[in-house]
Amino acid sequence: MTTAHHPQCPPNPLQMQPTSTPSGPAAPSPSQASREPRSIRQHPLPPPEPLRQGPGNGGMIHCMIHRRTIEILVLRHGSDLSSLTSVWCATRPSDPPSASPGIDYIPSSKKVEFKPGKTEETCSLTILDDIQNPSIEGSESFVVFLSSPQGAVLQEPHEANVVITDTFQDIPSMQFEKSTYAVKEKDSVLHIPVIRTGDLSFKSSVRCFTRTMSAMVMDDFEERRNTDESRITFLKGEKVKNCTVHIIDDSVFEPEEEFQVHLGVPLGDHWSGAMVGTRDIVTITITNDEDAPTIEFEQVSYQVREPPGPDSVEVLNIKVIRQGDLDRTSKIRCSTQDGSAQSGVDYNPKSRVLKFTPGMDHILFKVEILSNEDREWHESFSLVLGPDDPVEAVLGDITMATVTILDQEAAGSLILPAPPIVVSLVDYDHVQEVTKEGSKKTPSPGYPLVCVTPCDPHYPKYSVMKERCEEAGINQTQIHFSWEVAAPTDPSGARSPFETVTDTTPYTSVTRMVLDSIYFSRRFHVRCVAQARDKAGHLGTPLRSNIITIGTDGSICHTPVTTGTARGFQAQSFIATLKYLDVKHKEHPNRIHISVQIPHQDGMLPLVSTMPLHNLHFLLSESIYRQQHVCSNLVTLKELKGVSESGFLDDVSYDSISLGPGYDRPYQFNPNVREAKTIQFYKHLNLKSCIWTFDAYYDMTELIDVCGGTVTADFQVRDSAQSFLTVQVPLYVSYIYVTAPRGWASLEHHTEMEFSFFYDTMLWRTGIQTDSVLSARLQIIRIFIREDGRLVIEFKTHAKFRGQFVLEHHTLPGHMSRLMAPDHLGGIEFDMLLLWSAQTFDSPYQLWRATSSYSRKDYSGEYTVFLIPCTVQPTQPWVDPSDKPLSCTAHAPEKFLVPIAFQQTNRPVPVVYSLNTEFQLCNNEMVFLMDPSAADISMAEMDYKGAFSMGQTLYGKVLWNPEQNLNAAYRLQLEKVYLCTGRDGYVPFFDPTGTLYNEGPQYGCIQPNKHLQHRFLLLDRKQPDICDRFFHDVPFEADFASDIPELQSMTTMPGVDGFTMKVDALYKVEAGHQWYLQVIYVISPESRSNPRVQRSVVYQLSRSKRDLVDHSGQLTLDESLIYDNEDDQVKNGTNMKPLRLEVSPSATFNAHVGSSVGGGVGAIMLLVLVLLVSCFLFRRCQRAFTTKSKSSVKSYEYPLNTKVEVCMDKCVEKNFGTGHCTVRNININRNHEPTNKTKVKQVNLEVKLQNNLNDGTEV
């Protein structure tokens, strides 16, 4: 027989005798409930009679449970208790359900065993408390019961009802966080946190009020009354609220004072209300150390010049100041103390008590300085406050001051009266505001710094310092400056040492009072050193300024493209534009205007040149390295005198700079502060748009001869009479940044500028021709893009461990040092090379290069460098490993983040000129030898329009228009001269493709045909032996101008060449024939090393035939007549000109010959002979024509796939109308090579056809 009972309840009649009447549950008192985390009430039924089972009436027992686990007593009765018995003890929800299993208690079912002789055991249950989210739930209950006995029977009561009550434990409670606080009187406000616990789902409030102690209301703090005005309210869910008390600040020094703040009268929205916790009183202590009277010297050091006369005395006034509460009387002793200066010899000793009466804030302590003729150097002594403690005051920070006596004759005797101050040049007029205590303004990384000395009118205390500077004889303009810079502080807090800035540039100096922004960057530490100079030029004692840290917030031009640290490297793409200024331009006629625009970043220095930029340190600091950069912003016009008339840096005066937006910052171009060369350079920078603009104006000769340009043929307009030649000028742009106190990093761009022009002739090929144990520093040295567009990054590492970085090592298989690109670059990879390593294991320097696997337009992003550190033993010496791997132990790769913003540069749009060649005839040598670029007469007047008479010499020359101002950039040279005349009024013309006139290929005088009556090759520069020299035994006497000594002056004219011939032989033909001259010439880049006469040797023709015709009479031009190789630098052109002769009686025919029989017979015989010869020739010609017509099909095919539209309806005959024909190139690809570089161009050609037969057709 078992019964449930609770062992922790007080003695109960249940264990003594049965109770016949049940009683109701007794609720615990409120005081009891409020102290419990959770109360449990158990209602046991009365113990049953032994060996009796069944329902019955039972009594109740009341008790409080003080823990989360309750133990219910199970009793065993009977006479024989020697056997082992057991019973199951389990829980179940009450009816109706109240407490929830798993939320309010843990459901249980466990076996309770009784050992022999045992009469009682316990059944343990676990109650769950809602500690995380307390809420008032009221009383909840569940049932515990006994079942399944083994070796015994159940008796009443075998069930018990457990009631959980939490009403008073979760009532909202409010109390202070701490019991004491200290507040400074100057803080004025104190916020005291009040914490609320318990059920936060209801609104609660409590009064927070003050009580005085030693601190008094209205004198020391503002009272919070014990009324509802002082109530603080917690809304639903709020845990913390501040109780704010205002402290009254005065200037009176007082001892520490206290007052209290109380909590009381809690209120809550719930029926249970709210309560105040145990920490309901807090004590506040008010301190006011800042009001304590403080006595100290005004300055740390003083300088005084030795009195000039032997008996004279100099009085030095030392100011002793008192701060804080001035309402009381304070006393302090001030005394002199010997240093290198001796009392009685160099100064009079003094010691006295200084008495500060109420309201007095300073006292002057006077010291007399004596003249000492034996003194040879500066000497000093000290002033000391003390040694006794001051009365009614405390000592400040400056309790000792040093006085330096400056000797009149000592070298270097000058010293500034106070240290200089470094501020941003923007704040030069506001030095006092930005240097006062509490000012948070930091210098901008994008604007210069200025070193303000005490002798500068901008110095904060200049009114006092001015007298001292005048006494010492210090001239502000003669002060020598130098600058010291330190790299930013490491993440560990270690700062690099200061180093003196020594790297000068063509635009800036490092010994001026202004330091340009190219020498520092964000978070750098900078200070200046100032030395006064005496009249003899000797430098005095150097004084260092305060250390300033360059800010990150005041950026002027900072547009980070990459995320990450502010020390990222970036160089956005620049823009180069080209423009041709014609002869009508006022300032720069016939010039090419080059404009380069570069985006600016704070601290950036742009270099622009047409030559590669190497070895930055020497290039910037040594002028001899800049001499080759003629076309650059590295040299000025003064330095270019005699070499070039134009440059990227032009002379400028301060008055000529427009002070618009971007040029209007304080002292930006002030010549009193900044150097002239600095102003000349920085006037190209607009600080509003953050863009550098450099302009230069060159003619073509300067681009070729001075700027390093080359002549190429970049493209050819096909199916037209316009040929393009191109000048390519490289442009190198480097963005320079400072990487450390010394040294530069460059991000290099490279592009090509193109200048194209054309001339209207037919052309053909030359067929006729991170810190850890293994830490290191990584520094970017150079970033540039190769010719193939790949990105190259060069960087330097400085290991901070014993060993070296390696690309790979057998002790760490599967790992390699590598550079990883950002994810958004689409898997671009880099090949890493170790270029050089210092031959040591002790913190070696190593140089690396990483090259991208393919090219992209934009390489911006955050790159990651993984380097494998390989360590050695501390005693292991360096041994050259040669080809073997380094003897060391590899570790996991070190990681370095390198943010880079870098894009490839776009090629500028080419500038196009028209270069039109002209073929002129002259009848006298003087006009022939006129230089067209210098002559006073026009081009049209030079061309002889009249007829040539017997005995005259014809002078022919080919030239281009001198207005193009090509000067000596190109050379024009005649190669061949043809002469021909047509039969039956035929006018020879030049149409190699046969598409212009729709009459098949025509070659003018070059190819023999049936329509030409006479054709001569007068001149051939390469094969002079095959030329025609006579006609009917009359010599032509044709020569190139370069072969005649009297005409040698023509060889010096750029773009001109000519020839001469006699016209006598042309009068051997019957009158009425129209003669035509056709010239073939070469346009090629000028080569100073080869004179014109020898130029043709360079372009030898591999042909031994007579002129351009083979043995069968076919022209050997083939299809290359008009089309040109795109990479050829030499261009061939042709031009035709009609030649007019005076009309006179023919020398070969006489109309007044008398007739005779002999003459008649002779005439008949001649007629028969002519008929026989005609028949024979007709048969031969017919046979030859049949053969030729079969083979000429291919030669008359169009050279390329072209679409021909001939306007036949408007132009019936080419010689008697004017028409317009369009030749459109559909597909151009004559080679069977890969077509990935084929250039396809579409050009519309308009040709006007002349109807004047006497003028011929000029193409």
pLDDT in tens, 572-621: 778 888 888 877 888 888 888 888 998 888 888 899 998 888 887 888 88
Q: What are phi and psi of 90, to 5 degrees?
A: -140, 165
Q: What are phi and psi of 491, to 5 degrees?
A: -60, -25
Assess whether pLDDT exceeds 90 at residue 89: yes
Half-sphere exposure of 10 (CA within 13 A, CB side): 3
Distance CA 450, CA 512 (A): 9
> Average pLDDT in the 674-699 region?
87
Per-residue pLDDT at 263 = 92
Query: What are the distances in angstroms from CA 688 to CA 659, 679, 685?
Result: 12, 17, 9
Assess whether pLDDT exceeds 60 at residue 1257: no
Assess whether pLDDT exceeds 60 at residue 768: no
* Beta-ladder partners of 332: 354
Alpha helices in 436-512 (DSSP H): 462-472
* Beta-ladder partners of 478: none
Neighbours of 86 (CB within 10 A): 15
Distance CA 1039, CA 176 (A): 118
Q: Which residue has the higher pLDDT, 523 or 1177?
A: 523
773 confidence band (pLDDT: 50, 70, 90):
low
pLDDT in tens, 823-839: 888 778 999 999 999 99
Q: At residue 1106, what is the residue type?
A: R
> Average pLDDT in the 287-315 region?
83
Cα dihedral: 405, 407, 411, 417 (round 10): 40
Specify the range with the lowest mean pLDDT, choosing from 369-383, 555-569, 626-640.
Answer: 555-569
Distance CA 1022, CA 976 (A): 9
DSSP, collapsed to helix, strand or coil, labels residue 532 as: coil
> Average pLDDT in the 1069-1087 region?
79
The radius of gyration of the chain from alpha carbons, rounded to an integer in Å, stands at 54
Distance CA 1225, CA 238 (A): 83
Q: What are phi and psi of 449, to 5 degrees?
A: -105, 150
List of residues 6+ apart from 218 with CB closer than 8 A: 248
pLDDT in tens, 338-358: 988 888 888 999 999 999 999
Specify the range with the lowest mean pLDDT, choosing from 81-85, 702-706, 944-948.
Answer: 702-706
The gap from C-alpha 420 to its chain's centroid, in whole angstroms, comes to 34
Assess whether pLDDT exceeds 80 at residue 512: yes
Distance CA 629, CA 625 (A): 8
Assess whether pLDDT exceeds 70 at residue 886: yes
Assess whether pLDDT exceeds 70 at residue 974: yes
Cβ atoms 1108, 892 nearer than 8 A: no
63 confidence band (pLDDT: 50, 70, 90):
very low
Length of the chain as a residue count: 1259
List the one residue out of 700, 693, 706, 691 whose CA is nearest residue 754.
700
* Beta-ladder partners of 763: 1133
> Average pLDDT in the 46-62 region?
33
Per-residue pLDDT at 1128 = 54
List of residues 6+ apart from 418 with CB closer than 8 A: 299, 454, 459, 461, 465, 543
Neighbours of 804 (CB within 10 A): 25
> Average pLDDT in the 958-972 region?
71
Dmax (CA) for the chain in angstroms is: 194
List the one residue out of 294, 304, 297, 299 whose CA is nearest residue 367.
304
816 confidence band (pLDDT: 50, 70, 90):
very high
> Average pLDDT in the 996-1008 region?
80
> Average pLDDT in the 1048-1052 region?
85
Assess whether pLDDT exceeds 70 at residue 510: yes
Per-residue pLDDT at 1113 = 53
Assess whether pLDDT exceeds 70 at residue 504: yes
- DSSP 8-class letter at 702: I
Q: List for the chain the helix, strand, coil content (%; round to 5).
A: 10, 35, 50
Beta strands 180-184 and 281-287 are parallel
Distance CA 162, CA 705 (A): 109
Strand blocks (E) in 1088-1165:
1131-1139
Distance CA 298, CA 394 (A): 15
Cβ atoms 98, 141 nearer than 8 A: yes
Query: What are the distances in angstroms from CA 610 to CA 695, 799, 907?
Result: 13, 38, 14
Both structure tokens of 157: 């009561």
pLDDT in tens, 241-268: 999 999 888 777 777 889 999 999 999 8
54-82 per-residue burial string, b: 16 or more CB within 10 A, e: under 16: eeeebbbbbbbbeeeebebbbbbbeeeee
Q: Which of 147-156, 648-657, 1197-1206 has the highest mean pLDDT?
A: 147-156
pLDDT in tens, 1021-1045: 988 888 999 988 899 999 999 999 9
Both structure tokens of 242: 């501040």
Q: Which residue has the higher pLDDT, 941 or 1254?
A: 941
Q: At residue 960, what is the residue type?
A: W
- DSSP 8-class letter at 11: P
> Average pLDDT in the 676-680 region?
86
The gap from C-alpha 186 to its chain's centroid, in whole angstroms, comes to 47
Q: Which residue has the higher pLDDT, 1211 or 613?
A: 613
List the one residue out of 566, 444, 460, 462 whose CA is nearest residue 515.
444
Q: Which of 3-17, 222-236, 850-864 has the highest mean pLDDT?
A: 222-236
900 confidence band (pLDDT: 50, 70, 90):
confident
pTM value > 0.85 = no
DSSP, collapsed to helix, strand or coil, labels residue 963 as: helix
pLDDT in tens, 865-874: 999 999 998 8
Per-residue pLDDT at 403 = 92
Whether omega for the bond prior to residue 310 falls within 30 degrees of 0, making it cis, is no
Distance CA 1022, CA 790 (A): 46
> Average pLDDT in the 1002-1014 region?
86
Distance CA 1241, CA 1221 (A): 18
Query: What are the distances in angstroms from CA 748 to CA 299, 573, 681?
Result: 51, 10, 20
177 confidence band (pLDDT: 50, 70, 90):
confident
Distance CA 170, CA 166 (A): 6
